[in-house]
Amino acid sequence: MNGHVFYRKLNVELPLIVRGKGVYLYDDKGKRYLDGSGGAMVACIGHGVDEVAVEIGVQAHRLTYVNGTAFTNEPVEKLADLLCAHAPPGIGKAYFLSSGSEAVEAALKLARQYHVERGETQRKIIIARTPGYHGNTLLALSASAREPYRKIYAPWLLDVTMIDAPYPYRAGPLGDSSPAMTGEAFAKALDRVGPGNVAAFIAEPVGGSSTGASVPPPDYYARIRELCDAHGILFIADEVLSGAGRTGKFLALEHFRARDGGPVVPDIITLGKSLNGGYSPLSALLVKTSIVDTIARGSGSFVHAQTYSHNPLAAAAALATMHYVRDRRLVERAALLGAELQKALKTLLTKGSGAHMVGDVRGIGMLAAVELVADRDTKKPFPRAMKVVETLVKECLAHGLVVWPNVGHANGHDGDLIMIAPPYTITLEEIDELTESLRGALAATAGAVLGQASLAQNG
């Protein structure tokens, strides 16, 4: 590409987006794109919301930065109050950073420091799930199962114990009775490594792009919580993608109940993406008060700091976003319109010339995935070399639709799926437009795949 910007994707000419409004983005040539994935599952209230822009401007005039180790500020205090009011019982503290990766990094460090301050210095093992993803900083990436990244950075990553993620579409012959689906995979991992050596278990309550919006069985997290309680392990709920209303609840973990019927309460929650709606970089840790109190009584300081932590401008943007969500009841709308979105996307399984490529459509609320397969009966994925999802993403853009791709989930190498995560404000008419654009892109992709197969057969 021309110009001086170093982009993640090289040798690709990216469209120049000049403005956004509602669910739409507009490039410099006048083309309109329906933002069907909210960017990277971020734009929860849509683009160009005047009320949020005004609040950001007011805060920019008032105060944009103070050192979070020397001062507090009004926006972070108010945002912390709001988020803790939405949190499960016992969660009473909020720590603010700039990205989801940073939040996960800090959450894992906090878990380690908590155990050290209690004298349990042997607790250093992290248990995470595969497929799974928690971010790109090195500790977060260590807890992730992204082979293309790990192949390069493996010498720098920590050894994290991985268990199979609950993935209903690929759960195997045992289905919901498999250890991955019941939580017994976690129990078996504890037996292997010794539960007294484990600092934390981290999981996305509802799968992100790694398992394509997969929803675990209803009692999965009740079992996880029981095991963590029995062995003194901290449970980190990574809600960076699924939280702040995306699934039709403020937290995705609210869809699951404990054995006694009450909420499943994690020890630490990470938030990002929909927390700020894309209006300013911000992420958060929500933490049990008892954890913070332990450190306060011990060393008196969390051994982690970043320049832009507790930033007033970013907090003001997130506060305005959350007020917009609250005042327009957009979490409830995500549940109501999300059901219509899921229903519309299910028609991709049966209608259209690309339907034979669609292995599964799944999700909850305003979070959905379409998984592509070479054979629907066997669930056989396309070979990675065919780059099927890359073709689909390109065809979607040609049809004026933005979606988010993921690869490698089927076996660590092969697998193609797209994520659908539009703004909570999307209308029924826009859901129809999204679905029909995707149907057209699937048909074009099916034609391209057929052409590849024909070329390969003819040599």
Q: What is the pLDDT of residue 235?
A: 98
Model confidence pLDDT, tens digit, residues 341-350: 999 999 999 9
DSSP annotation of 177:
G
Q: At residue 2, does pLDDT exceed 80?
A: no
Q: At residue 362, does pLDDT exceed 70?
A: yes
Q: What is the pLDDT of residue 177?
A: 94
Q: What is the CATH number of domain 51-327?
A: 3.40.640.10
Model confidence pLDDT, tens digit, residues 26-41: 999 999 999 999 999 9
Q: Rounded to whole angstroms, how far apart are CA atoms 366 and 13?
A: 30
Rounded mean pLDDT of 351-376? 97
Domain boundaries, the chain: 17-48+329-458, 51-327
Model confidence pLDDT, tens digit, residues 39-93: 999 999 999 999 999 999 999 999 999 999 999 999 999 999 999 999 999 999 9
Helix (H) or strand (E) holding 359: strand 358-364
Q: Buried b / exposed e across 428-440, counting CB within 10 Å, b at 16+?
A: eebbebbbebbbb
Model pTM above 0.75 = yes
DSSP annotation of 186:
H
Q: What is the pLDDT of residue 6?
A: 93
CA-based nearest residue to 304, from 285, 289, 319? 285
131 cis-preceded (ω within 30 degrees of 0)? yes
Q: Which pair of structure tokens corresponds to residue 202?
A: 């981290």
CA-based nearest residue to 419, from 365, 347, 350, 339? 365
Q: At residue 150, does pLDDT exceed 90?
A: no
- Radius of gyration, CA atoms only, the chain: 22
Mention every residue, 6+ apart, whose C-beta is less than 8 A from residue 46: 20, 21, 22, 23, 423, 425
Residue 227 and residue 187 in contact, taking contact as beta carbons nearer than 8 Å? yes
Q: What is the pLDDT of residue 193?
A: 98
Q: At residue 455, does pLDDT exceed 60?
A: no
E strand map for 136-273: 161-164, 198-203, 234-239, 268-271
Q: Rounded to whole angstroms, how far apart are CA atoms 91 and 104?
A: 17
- Give the DSSP letter string of 393-449: HHHHHHTTEE-EEEE-TTTSS--EEEEE---TT--HHHHHHHHHHHHHHHHHHHHHH
E strand map for 22-177: 24-27, 32-35, 91-97, 125-130, 161-164
Query: Average pLDDT of the chain?
Result: 96
Rounded mean pLDDT of 180-189? 98
Q: Give me the residues paired with residue 269 across strands.
A: 237, 286
- Collapsed DSSP state (helix, strand, coil) of residue 201: strand
- Beta carbons within 10 angstroms of residue 29's beta carbon: 8
Phi-psi region of 416 (alpha: psi -120 to 50; beta: other; left: phi over 0): beta
Model confidence pLDDT, tens digit, residues 162-183: 999 999 999 989 999 999 999 9
Alpha helices per DSSP H over 127-219 = 138-142, 147-153, 179-182, 184-193
Mention every residue, 6+ apart, whose C-beta is less than 8 A from residue 8: none
Q: At residue 313, does pLDDT exceed 60?
A: yes
Q: Rounded to whole angstroms, how far apart are CA atoms 95 and 80?
A: 8
Q: What is the pLDDT of residue 149?
A: 86
Q: Which pair of structure tokens corresponds to residue 155?
A: 């010498």
Q: What is the four-CA torsion angle of 353, 359, 361, 362, rounded to 10 degrees?
A: 180
Into which CATH architecture does domain 17-48+329-458 fall?
Alpha-Beta Complex (3.90)
Burial of residue 67 (CB within 10 Å: 0-12, 13-18, 19+) is exposed
CA-based nearest residue to 238, from 85, 133, 340? 133
CA-based nearest residue to 422, from 269, 252, 277? 277
Q: Rounded to whole angstroms, how far apart are CA atoms 321 and 51?
A: 9
What is the total residue count of the chain? 459
